[in-house]
Amino acid sequence: MIAACIFGCSGPHLTPEEAAFFREVQPWGFILFGRNIENQQQVRALVADLRASVGRPDAPILIDQEGGRVQRLRPPHWRRYPPARAYAGQDPELAWLGGRLIADDLAGLGINVDCAPVLDVPAPGAHDIIGDRAYGDDPVRVARLARAFADGLIAGGVVPIVKHTPGHGRAGADSHLDLPVVGEARTKLEAVDFQPFMALADLPMAMTAHVVYTAIDPLRPATTSPVVIGEIIRGVICFDGLLISDDLSMKALSGDFTSRARDALSAGCDVVLHCNGDMDEMKAVAAGVRPLEGLAHRRAQAALASVSAPPQPFDADAAARRFDAAFSHWVNT
């Protein structure tokens, strides 16, 4: 039985303890971070070992490859990509090209899910944890550029995950370290923050925000709020794809890891994410998860099937030359 969770591992090679744990727990997928990455050959081997540990050659492998500050694959083995803000004012075709080039990098390693694009709309005075990771301050422009980037990923056989629904742009704190509380009126949230997520609600996967919206649920962050998930993400935004929690190890959440996992799933997340590879924490998360079945399982299958067709023909060298010419300031610094 597949468990409704995604785990990381501790280093560039799977340990025997990790392999045995994953074999027993059967997480739906895995996520890679900088600590897991040395070079192409090593990453391909790790990806193969992770899938072998659960006996599923199609197990999803995730990575955060946005560009800019959030880029796990870095030079000298991979190209440098600009942050999302660099696409502002550019033709959306360049955002598509960025997504398509990243997909080419990931697919060559066996990675089939990218935790991007970011749909958050930053507000004045907000914490800079989003900052230049956003495509701009106008929700319509954010949606247009993010759509192009996501389409580029899909064209290259990689599933995008939009984040951080229903919006992290007003947060005054970094949810890695603290629990952000947003006091904006619901009417303003619906008019601005939710708009990009509504425009891209047809995409196959989304990641929650560890943010409290006092106008909607003053007690719980979106990740563990049945009100935010049911009324806003599934209702107002109309997202019906696979909903993944943001990382359960972030300090915005409270309680033990078993409770965090159980609360997120009970609130309406389909799958929970735990990233840091800490074995004790993963065991506690595993104790709080349930089998991936029913509607959540169908959503997971549909998400992976959304890129089942072979990637479209693509001249990577020509695309890279065009991309680098357009973003020479970013890629050469």
pLDDT score of 306 = 93
DSSP label at 204?
A: S
3-state secondary structure 205-240: EEEECCCEECCCECCCCHHHCHHHHHHHHHHHCCCC
Give the integer Cα–Cα distance in Å for 312 and 327. 24
Specify if 278 maps to a domain. yes
Residue 161 and residue 208 in contact, taking contact as beta carbons nearer than 8 Å: no
14 pLDDT tier (thresholds 50, 70, 90): very high
What is residue 331's predicted lDDT score, i.e. its pLDDT? 59
Residue 332 lies in a domain: no
Does 7 fall in a domain? yes
Within a domain: 331: no
Is 60 in contact with 112 (CB distance < 8 Å)? yes
Give the model confidence (pLDDT) of 272-315 as tens digits. Answer: 999 999 999 999 999 999 999 999 999 999 999 999 777 878 89
Q: Kindly report, residue by residue over 50-73, the tens digit of the pLDDT.
A: 999 999 999 999 999 999 999 999
Q: What is the mean pLDDT of residues 114-143?
A: 94
Q: Dump the DSSP string for 87-128.
A: GTTS-HHHHHHHHHHHHHHHHTTT--EE---B-----TT--T
Q: Model confidence over 211-270: pLDDT tens digits?
A: 999 999 999 999 999 999 999 999 999 999 999 999 999 988 999 999 999 999 999 999
Residue 333 has pLDDT above 60, yes or no: no
Q: Which two tokens stand for residue 260?
A: 């965090």
Catalytic residues: 176, 246
Does some domain include residue 333? Answer: no
Among the listed residues 199, 111, 189, 109, the one whose alpha carbon sits nearest the alpha carbon of residue 147: 199
Rounded Cα distance between 271 and 5, Å, is 5
Which CATH number fits the domain that encloses residue 96?
3.20.20.300
When the pLDDT of each residue in the chain is averaged and rounded to a whole number, the result is 95
Long-range contacts for 40-44 (Cβ within 8 Å, ≥24 apart)? 40/77, 40/108, 40/109, 42/12, 42/13, 43/73, 43/109, 43/110, 43/111, 44/109, 44/110
Cβ atoms 302, 204 nearer than 8 A? yes
The DSSP call for residue 63 is E
In a domain, 228, yes or no: yes
Q: Is residue 148 part of a domain?
A: yes
- Distance between first and last Cα of the chain: 47
Q: Is residue 302 part of a domain?
A: yes
- What is the rounded distance in angstroms from the CA atom of residue 138 to the CA atom of residue 140? 6
Other CB atoms within 10 A of residue 250 CB = 21
**CA distances to 60, 117, 227 from 39, in Å:** 20, 24, 43
Range of the domain at 296: 3-325
Assign 126 a pLDDT band (cuts: 50, 70, 90).
confident
CB 183 within 8 A of CB 193: no
Number of structural domains the chain divides into = 1
Say yes or no to pLDDT of 332 above 60.
no
